[in-house]
A and B are shown apart, each in its own frame.
Chain A
């Protein structure tokens, strides 16, 4: 029996030699990363369109005048408080998610379930807050393609007040972009909550215990953190800038 192997028959074991993933990450997780990459492009184009329209505007509704109420509590003079609460809720739910992933590494089923439930509650709270915010703005007169009456609309612009036609044009642009972008983000949160619920049911049913790994929790975790990440950008560009 010959022990020499010709160079071409030698099995290569370098990471990029084929046969195994050079990324050392499971297939589904790589696909989640690339889905999130494409989703990042979608959100970027929406936010860049918003930026371009806002930079080219003659006047824009001031965020601290539009978002200065806490629905059901404070009508005026509390800019950013409510959105601060929403941001806190979402970051908090990101933490519970990553704790669920951490518990999954240890195979602690009960802990995974509790942290997942925490994440779901956080997601639902965020959606509730967003519903309140939308209702508030809708009551003021903002909606897709509609703005408040002129005297009310002008209150949302800082001095010097723009002309009526300028206020109407950019008020409309603000309303359309706000509801489209936060709506698209809210839809992502909603899908995330639904998928989180499905994963939690699977954890309870012991699906991942039988499979021997809680990789699915990690994958939905990636999605959930991405949703949090998008909110960080929406928050900056709609509420702060």
Chain B
């Protein structure tokens, strides 16, 4: 029966987690990040203020930031138990390994093709 108080506590946290106001705040953040991406793509890069080498990492960081807000708040993962958070996030981290391996490898493929 000791799980019961914990449960109601969870629910309180849940409601605290995603009120209507909070939802719209997250939406405005997502919109603002997208607007920044457009500003870079449509203004800064064409006007040579920024090169692709600078812009691309910025896009990736901003995309990961958007992913954090969608998964954390919209999908509610931020308010779940630590066990569930780790069960979802840790496997995803392995994808980074595959990205590193294949980007390294693809730079080598260029030499093979030419």
Residues of A in contact with B (beta carbons under 8 Å apart): 13, 15, 20, 22-25, 30, 33, 37, 40-41, 44-45, 48-49, 51-58, 64, 79-80, 84, 87-88, 91-92, 94-95, 97-99, 101-102, 105, 218, 221-222, 225-226, 228-229, 232-233, 236, 240-241
With a cutoff of 8 Å between Cβ atoms, the chain A residues found around residue B14 in the complex are 105
Secondary structure at the A interface, as helix, strand, loop or mixed, is helix
26 contacts between A and B (CB under 8 A): A23-B81, A24-B6, A24-B7, A44-B95, A51-B99, A51-B102, A52-B102, A52-B109, A54-B106, A56-B109, A58-B110, A58-B113, A64-B41, A79-B41, A80-B38, A80-B42, A91-B27, A92-B27, A94-B70, A98-B18, A102-B19, A222-B75, A225-B70, A229-B67, A241-B56, A241-B59
Flag whether B54 is at the interface (Cβ < 8 A). no
Q: With the chains together, A103 CA to B40 CA distance in Å?
A: 37
Q: With the chains together, A54 CA to B107 CA distance in Å?
A: 10
Neighbour of B106 across the interface among A55, A58, A92, CB < 8 A: A55
Q: With the chains together, A25 CA to B85 CA distance in Å?
A: 12
Chain B 91-114 interface mask (CB, 8 Å, partner A; 1/0): 110010011001101110110011
Complex: chain B residue closest to A16, CB-CB: B83
Q: Beyond A20-B3, A24-B81, A33-B84: 14 further Cβ-contacts under 8 Å?
A: A23-B83, A33-B87, A33-B88, A44-B95, A48-B98, A51-B103, A52-B102, A56-B106, A88-B31, A91-B34, A92-B27, A228-B74, A232-B66, A241-B56
Report if A240-B59 is in contact (Cβ < 8 Å); known contacts: A13-B2, A30-B84, A98-B18. yes
